[in-house]
Amino acid sequence: MSFRLGLTGGIGMGKTTTARLFAQRGHPVWDADDAVHRLYAPGGAAVAPVAAAFPAALVAGGIDRAALKSALSDDPGALARLESIVHPLVAADRAAFVARHRDAPLVVLDIPLLFETGAEAEMDGTAVVSAPAPVQRARVLARPGMTPQMLDLILSRQMPDADKRARARWVIPTDTPETAAAAVDALCADILGRPDA
């Protein structure tokens, strides 16, 4: 039975890079964002139910994220309706991934809203990637099209980093690639050295 590690972190904290470090060490990594893209693609399990709720979002046989975002902005209750459709499908995709990799000693589940959605209850342990706020801001503001106002809005919708760090079993500092790699190695050794892992 695999040890299910829930990996999370705010925007610009280095979660994607950290997930890649686990993959490079041979551990299967499931990515919630990738799962949503698959579900929204033509033929994906979310296409029909999301299109039924938000017809304007259906474009070329798939869910167009820009059109969906526009539909959500017009209706205060729309996000909750969308989440009620998509979250169970994402959870099913995650469960199927875990089942496929049941023989792996460690499976990493990259979930941006791990704590916000209560998904940590399904994990054997949780890790948060974290960097100092100035490093986070510099990383995000270096992205094309990003503005300080957009970043502030995103941060206002995410659980604060301090709260995530307080809830996680492990904290992976990502201020430098070397510290992140060392923390991932230590975390893997900790988990894989456990008799129940």
Give the model confidence (pLDDT) of 134-154 as tens digits: 999 999 999 999 999 999 988
Residue 120 has pLDDT above 70, yes or no: yes
CB burial of 34-69 (b: ≥16 within 10 Å; e: otherwise) equals ebbebbbeeebbbbebbbeebeebbeeebbeeeebe
Question: 45: closest CA among 99, 112, 109, 94?
Answer: 94
Residue 182 has pLDDT above 70, yes or no: yes
Q: Strand, coil or helix: what is 31?
A: strand
Rounded Cα distance between 58 and 116, Å, is 27
Q: Please compute the mean of the pLDDT values over residues 176-190 and round it to a whole number.
A: 96
Residue 128 in contact with residue 172, Cβ under 8 Å?
Answer: yes
- Give the CA-trace dihedral at 109, 113, 116, 121, to 10 degrees: -10
Q: Please compute the mean of the pLDDT values over residues 105-127 and round it to a whole number.
A: 94
Q: Strand, coil or helix: what is 65?
A: helix
Rounded Cα distance between 197 and 191, Å, is 6
Look at residue 33 in the predicted model and tell me its pLDDT: 92
Residue 162 in contact with residue 13, Cβ under 8 Å?
Answer: no
Q: Strand, coil or helix: what is 153?
A: helix
Domain ranges of the chain: 1-28+107-197, 30-100
Q: Please compute the mean of the pLDDT values over residues 77-96 and round it to a whole number.
A: 93
Residue type, 7: L
Largest CA-CA distance found in the chain, in angstroms, rounded: 52
Look at residue 195 in the predicted model and tell me its pLDDT: 55
* Average pLDDT of every residue of the chain: 93
> 8: phi > 0 → left, psi -120 to 50 → alpha, else beta; which?
beta
CATH tag, 1-28+107-197: 3.40.50.300
Give the model confidence (pLDDT) of 34-73 as tens digits: 999 999 999 999 999 999 999 999 999 999 999 998 888 8
SS (H, E, C) 136-176: HHHHHHCCCCCCHHHHHHHHHHCCCHHHHHHHCCEEEECCC
pLDDT band at 196 (very low <50, low <70, confident <90, very high): low
